[in-house]
Amino acid sequence: MKLCRFQPLEFDAKELTRATREAHPTPRAGIIEGERIHEIRGELWGPRERTGISWPLDQIKFLPPSAPSKIVCVGRNYSDHAKELGNAVPTLPLIFLKPASSVIAPEEPIVLPRISQRVDYEGELAVIIGRSCYRLEDDESAAPYILGYTCLNEVTARDLQKLDGQFTRGKGFDTFCPFGPVLETQLAPSGVTVETYQNGIRKQSGHTSEMIFSVDVIIRFIAQVMTLEPGDVIATGTPSGVGPLAAGDVVEVSVGGIGTLRNPVIAQS
């Protein structure tokens, strides 16, 4: 089942205030069936009661499929990616955080900050949490805590990451975490392709079977440290082939069984 958060392209007059022109109007949630979205009440992890209202896909704007309290990322989870950057393959999941302020929607621009000379794309499979999750039992599966899966671009100011020796600044700029456009609830996370295209040219192509740490292992590891809340996002790592973005580019991340996340790239004004 494909789920999404969205806003209609035409809003009620009462919503068209200066404030809502400068930010997203109240997001709506829905179930995608064919070429229509069937609106539901509440959040995607709720009972999904339909309102009776539906929208054609060409009359809505996709929003990120959750509003996370945090984005937890896994670094160097593909051995070829670790090697291409000259890093050792980790023996435990290497986790770090991106701020919620880095999130943008599909089709919104990634902004290249003036203080960085190299900003890279990193296409990834992302996991969206559906239930509060903390300290799983040894024999407990992580699957019931997963709402679904989506595409994510874990944008990185590579020069600042190397300069700082840690990840916060290089990973944390506004616009550095596009994800979406839809959330797929039925997906085998160890059996899908992850590809990134820059201006229509394929730059990354990997398979989640190549991940060093599986989704179950990752969730279990993170939940030993912090409570994962509904809507939180886990970025599971990127395959090899990362490279720099330039103003004017269009970058697309495609994950098999989910779809394609597309964002233009602009320079900071």
**CATH superfamily, domain at 2-63:** FAH (2.30.30.370)
**CATH superfamily, domain at 71-267:** Fumarylacetoacetase-like, C-terminal domain (3.90.850.10)
Pairing between β-strand 146-153 and β-strand 243-244 as defined by DSSP bridges? unpaired
Coil, strand, or helix at residue 216? helix
Output the pLDDT for position 11. 57
Cα within 13 Å of Cα(194), Cβ side = 31
Domain coordinates in residue numbering, the chain: 2-63, 71-267
Rounded CA-CA distance 245/231 in Å is 28
Distance, CA of 206 to chain centre = 17
Output the pLDDT for position 103. 98
Output the pLDDT for position 102. 98
Rounded CA-CA distance 5/124 in Å is 20
Output the pLDDT for position 186. 97
Distance, CA of 104 to chain centre = 9
Closest CA to 210 of 225, 190, 236: 190
> CA-based diameter of the chain, in Å?
56
Task: Confirm whether 2-63 and 71-267 share one CATH topology.
Answer: no
The pLDDT averaged over each successive group of 10 residues in the chain (269 residues) is 94 45 71 97 95 96 97 95 87 97 98 98 98 95 97 98 96 98 97 98 97 97 98 98 98 98 97
Query: What is the H or E stretch that residue 2 is in?
Result: strand 2-8
Coil, strand, or helix at residue 164? helix
